[in-house]
Amino acid sequence: MEGGTVETLIRYPVKGLQGQKLETVSVEEGGCLPLDRAFAIENGPIGFDEKSPKHFAKVNFLTLMRHERLALLETDYDEETGVLTILRQGRQVARGDLGTKIGRNMIEQFLAAFMSEELKGPPRILAADQHHFTDMAEPAIHIINLASVKALEMIVNMPIEPARFRANIEFSGLEPWAERNWLGRTLKIGEAEVEVLCETDRCAAVNVDLKTAKRGKSLPATLAQHFGTNTFGIYVKITKKGVIKRNDKLVLLDETTA
C-alpha cells in the first residue's frame, strides 16, 4: 500500500472543547495521546472518584453531542502552566489553572453562566492521574481519512470541516473509505505502530457547524442511508511506542497477507 500522510495531529485537553494542533507527539504502548481528554466537564453529579477513576459515557459530560453552544468558545491549554484560557469572538472570558481548585472554580463559574439553560447541576471539571475521558473505555486514538471526508461532502453536497469528527490524526493520500478495510490490522505511523480496533460510531456532535454552533444535516443518518452504518473513522490501539510527527507516513504493515 502506498503510504498515507499525517496532515494533522490534534489533542483535546478538555472533552467537548476545542482541540489543539501539534507538530509532534510521543505515544506509549497501550495509551492515548498525552493530555487528550485529560479533563472533562461533569454535567450533574456522577460519582466520579479521582482516586479510582472509571469510564463514564459521554452523556454525563458537556459535549457537542447535546451542547452545540460549546462550539462558540475558543480555548487554549498551556501544558507547562496548566492554565486553560477560554475566549469568545477573540475576547477572553475565563482563565484558570486546572491544576488548582481556585483555577477550576474560575472556569466552572463561567460555564455555569454560559451553559445555564442546559445544566443538570453545577458544572465540575474532573481529572485523575493518567485517566482519559475518551468515548472508548479502552485507551485508543482516533483517526480519520481526509479523502473520506471529501467523499462525504459530495454525498451531502456541502463542505464539512474535518474537525467535526474530533480525530487525533487526520491523514491524506489514500482512497476514500480505505480505512474501512483495516479492522484488526496493523499500521505504522511515524515510529509508532497501532492495531485497528473498530470503526467509530458517530453521534449528533458531527452535525454541529463549528463556525456557527448550529446543527445541520444529520451526517450519521446520511452515512447509514448510503452505507448501512453510521460509522466514520477508526479507533486504534498503540502497540509500539514512538514519536509521531505531522507529515509522517501512515502505512499498512500486513498488506501482503490481506
Q: Supply the DSSP string of 21-66, one letter for each residue.
A: EESEEEE-TT--STTTT-BEEEES-----TTS-----GGGB--TTT
Given a cut of 50, is residue 127 above it in pLDDT?
yes
* Mean per-residue pLDDT, 61-70: 96
Residues of the chain within CATH 2.40.33.20 domain(s) are 4-32+136-257
Helix axes 146-156, 219-227, angle to 10 degrees: 90
Whether the predicted pLDDT of 258 surpasses 50: no
CB atoms within 10 A of CB 138: 12
For the question of whether the overall pTM of this predicted structure is more than 0.75, the answer is yes
Which has more pLDDT, 117 or 258? 117
Q: How far apart are CA 162 and CA 52, in angstroms?
A: 34
The CA distance from 225 to 77, in Å, is 38
pLDDT value at residue 255: 66
What are the cell numbers at 254? Answer: 500486513
As given in the structure block, the three cell numbers for residue 223 are 452515512
At 254, the pLDDT band (50, 70, 90 cuts) reads confident
> 189 near 201, Cβ under 8 Å?
no
Return the residue matching grid coordinates 495531529.
Answer: 9
What homologous superfamily is domain 4-32+136-257 in, according to CATH? PK beta-barrel domain-like (2.40.33.20)
Q: Give the max Cα distance, the chain.
A: 56
